[in-house]
Structure 1
Amino acid sequence: MLNLSSAARSRIRRAGQTRTSLWRKGRQDSYRSGWRDGYRLGASEHAVRLGAVMPAVRPLHIMFVATGKGFPYSPLDEAVSVTLRAMVARLTVTGKETAVHDAAALRPDLVLVLDGLEFDPARVDEIRALGLRTAVWFTDDPYYTDITTVLAPHFDDVFTLELSCVEHYRSLGCQRVHHLPLGVHPAAFRPLNAPQDRRRDICFVGSAYWNRVDFFDGMADYLAGKNMWISGIWWERLRNFRRLAPRIELNKWMDPKETALTYNGAKIVINLHRSPHDAEFNRNGAGLHAVSPNPRTFEISACAALQLTDVRDGIASCYVPGVEIETYASADELKAKIEYYLANEEHRQAIALRGLYRTMRDHTYANRLDRMLSLLFEQ
């Protein structure tokens, strides 16, 4: 038997007490964390069920011309086709190369073209010459209006996600122009229990357009001290890239599943719209403004994450600021709201849950396509 000194026995006893204390603290922290995660997911599921509405099936045959442009458009193609398939009696999905042939053979009630930037206007004319109705849903307005300005007059109906483009297309002689934002596909973006390696205080997902580069460069000192994560292409153009590099996942396109996990793992998700006046990336010679929210607005809210988005005039028509979403008009306001919501978890989660409910009630692709079909066939 070891003959230990009283000092050695005291050290062993203190070490044992420390281990016991750490074990108890770890158990308590794990319990609190598990309770928070469980409460969030349970409350989110309730909000999803309460808000979700599936429209009735219409006795229509729709031919859907997908973009066929690959990622990042392929998830949009899937979201629209999957949603439409559950809403109409028959759905035919085709591509721009075979659209005329398929339309002539099948004679659908509507030929719907998504995006359309690579669709030859002559093919639209051929389909209309068959006596068939055509519609286009522009997904990138107003950033490529140099192209859509030429394309829009060839369609019977024009749908645009950007409110400021409605009058522009009408001025071109388009008789039926409708504002229809993009939405969210709940099968892809929904509340999830994110793994620990996705847990962060703040995140931003998106490409480094120049207005975003300038904004985040101006916040570099602040963000460098935060549990922050940025993912997207071109972020090496930041002047402060080296300082923020440990917090940047560079030149990666995340699919919807990974993006949803990233949103779910963040306490706060920043949304910053791209500028419609970026001459390097845009084709917007008319200088049209952008007032409508981007699709990311709906995707973030569908993940029950608190969203801090820059102010756009159209935000208030989709969400109630301060109730279902939060906005900022400057870097200083963004910093102040980050500090507040990181310190006020209950308020943060309450806004996120209300945003989730509003999204499921009003902003899914089922909502959007039901609105589209109503405008086309019931009015």
Structure 2
Amino acid sequence: MGKAMKSAAVIQNKAAYHRGRVDGFPLGWKDGHWFGRCESVVRRATPVPVKRPLHVLYVTSGKGFPYSPLDHGIVETLKTVAERVTLVVPDEDVLKVATKVRPDMMLVLDGMHMAPEKVQAVNALGVRTAIWFTDDPYYTDITAGIAVHYHHVFTLEKNCLSFYAERGCPRVSYLPLGVFPVDYRPRNTPFELRGEISFIGTAYWNRVTLFDQLMPLLAHRRLHLSGLWWDRLAEYERWKGIIDLGKWMEPGETSERYNANKIVINSHRAHDDGTFNQNRAMITAVSPNPRTFEISASATMQLTDYREDIAQFYIPGQEIVTYDSPEDLAAKTDYYLEHEEERQEIALRGLYRTLRDHTFVSRLNQIMDLTMNG
């Protein structure tokens, strides 16, 4: 290469560097300012865990993914709020472990792989036993027979309180799952992942109906879907380019996707969907799903379908936004994408409320209080 060509190349590189610096500086400043605001909220809202003089025997769900991240989050949080934690899986000799370590209480997640006779044997030791159901009301045909063996039952669905009480459970409490903020938190996501709107979840039929109507209304927006069975969409071939079909992400990757978009849609599963549903009692669902807390913990504005009990956890219009139809959802999406400051304020208020009230620290403190004092 001659001197003239080298000089031209140097000039071009310098020009490209200058353009990149000029174009990148506003984006970098904007990102830095946003994450500084998020960090301020995190520091103000996150409670300091206090260890209680309790020994908790924790029995995992035994189901593997996607329950294993829940088990991990609960165990790691228990270590910060209980003096001692012993971990077992359902197919271990739980009675032998309990006899040896003599815990104050035993907490079981989900319980479908935990034999009832093991629970009864631990009860006979004088250990307080508690179970936290993660999928109510969708498997109540099964959980009805499990719940009666425990000293205290915790359900994430308010409408299941009377269901369990009527079946002889002496102590039943309403307790949604909440969030593990190590997994779900504000993140500086790669630029190539960024978009405007996303939904992550399985394509149950009520969600298919929603998105069949919604996607043409949002065709002018950058939308991303991810999850199982989205080829159920009537016009799947038209939309498949924006769908990660069959993808089931780990919590960190899910949170990264939430962070990458300005708005995340939440659509709750229908109580009478025929897919993997064992709810012959037809218990309706009025309580927020775990995704409600996970989205808000990721500092992203959430647009969710209305559930009767959601106002107990977030103030609609201030900490979360609800919709009542595909048209309403599309109109609110357009509005908040065009009013960025208002959208960001809602996201920050949702983040604050989540970290203050709805983490596993808060939930496990309630479980320990109610199990040991109830």
TM range (shorter): over 0.9
Q: How does 1:48-87 map to 2 (within 5 A)?
A: 48-87=42-81
Query: Is residue 66–residue 94 contact of structure 1 (8 Å, CA) maintained in 2?
Result: yes
Query: Which residue matches 2:181?
Result: 186
Deviation at 1:131, TM superposition (A): 2.4
Residues 1:147 and 2:142 are matched in the alignment:
yes
Moved >3 Å (runs of 4+): 22-29
- AA matched with 1:55: P
Q: Which runs of 5+ in 2 are unaligned?
A: 1-10
Query: Which residue matches 2:41?
Result: 47
- AA matched with 2:282: G
Could you say what the CA RMSD is over the residues aligned between the two structures, in angstroms? 1.9
Residues 1:348 and 2:347 are matched in the alignment:
no
- 3-state SS of 2:83 partner: strand
Deviation at 1:373, TM superposition (A): 1.1
Deviation at 1:69, TM superposition (A): 1.0
Deviation at 1:29, TM superposition (A): 4.0
Deviation at 1:100, TM superposition (A): 2.1
Residues 1:107 and 2:68 are matched in the alignment:
no
Q: Which runs of 5+ in 1 are unaligned?
A: 1-15
Q: Which moved more, 1:117-126 or 1:51-60?
A: 117-126
- AA matched with 2:272: H
Q: Deviations over 1:215-263 (max 9, x none)?
A: 1111231233321100111111111111110000010111011111100
Deviation at 1:27, TM superposition (A): 4.6
Q: How does 1:1-379 map to 2 (within 5 A)?
A: 27-98=21-92, 99-378=94-373
Taking the aligned partners of 2:192 and 2:210, their CA distance within structure 1 comes to 27
Taking the aligned partners of 1:198 and 1:268, their CA distance within structure 2 comes to 14
Taking the aligned partners of 2:349 and 2:289, their CA distance within structure 1 comes to 19
Larger Rg: 1
- AA matched with 1:352: A
Taking the aligned partners of 1:118 and 1:239, their CA distance within structure 2 comes to 37
- AA matched with 1:302: A
Deviation at 1:125, TM superposition (A): 1.4
- AA matched with 2:142: I
Residues 222 and 29 (structure 1 numbering): CA distance in 2 closer, same or farther, change over 3 Å?
Answer: farther
Deviation at 1:371, TM superposition (A): 1.2
Deviation at 1:376, TM superposition (A): 2.1
Query: Is residue 269–residue 306 contact of structure 1 (8 Å, CA) maintained in 2?
Result: yes
- 3-state SS of 2:303 partner: strand
- 3-state SS of 2:225 partner: strand
- AA matched with 1:139: T
Query: Is residue 152–residue 174 contact of structure 1 (8 Å, CA) maintained in 2?
Result: yes
Q: Deviations over 1:162-220 (max 9, x none)?
A: 11101111111111111111011111111011101210000000011111111111123
Taking the aligned partners of 1:262 and 1:74, their CA distance within structure 2 comes to 20
Q: Percent identity?
A: 50
Query: Is residue 320–residue 350 contact of structure 2 (8 Å, CA) maintained in 1?
Result: yes
Taking the aligned partners of 1:32 and 1:378, their CA distance within structure 2 comes to 55
